[in-house]
Amino acid sequence: GRCDVIERVVLLRCRDRSPSGVAEVAQAVLHLLRSRPEVAAASVARPADEATGAAWDLRVTVRLADEAALAGYAADEIHTRFVATWLAPRIAAREAWTFHADP
């Protein structure tokens, strides 16, 4: 049957697109995600070609055990406060999608 593992993929374009600005966002996002109990794994990736780099600075991938973990993650007060107060002012554009993933 269909697997329960969920992956949330978020693309971010930073306001400060310098290497240090992007690194600061990547480090803070990973630190926050890895501290949340619902998150099974988290990673960030940087663009590998010019076209991607023109549009985006980071791809954040969040792996969650199942839909219940996703719901808990989405409602998590520390996560939502971090996004609203720390991340949002530093982000110029954001796209996010949620997928069923191979376990």
Residue 102 confidence (pLDDT) = 79
Q: What is the mean pLDDT of the chain?
A: 95
92 near 13, Cβ under 8 Å?
A: yes
Q: Is residue 95 within a helix (H) or strand (E), and if so which, with residue range?
A: strand 91-100
In terms of pTM, does the model score above 0.85?
yes
| pLDDT tens-digit map of 23-61 | 999 999 999 999 999 999 999 999 999 999 999 999 999
- Flag whether pLDDT at 90 surpasses 70: yes
Mean pLDDT computed over 7-25: 98
In the chain, the N- to C-terminal Cα span, in Å, equals 12
Specify the pLDDT at position 3: 67
In this prediction, residue 95 carries a pLDDT of 97
Bridge partners, 60 (sequence order): 10, 44
Question: How much of the chain exceeds pLDDT 70, in percent?
Answer: 96
Please report the pLDDT score of residue 1 as a whole number: 43
Residue 41, H or E segment: strand 39-45
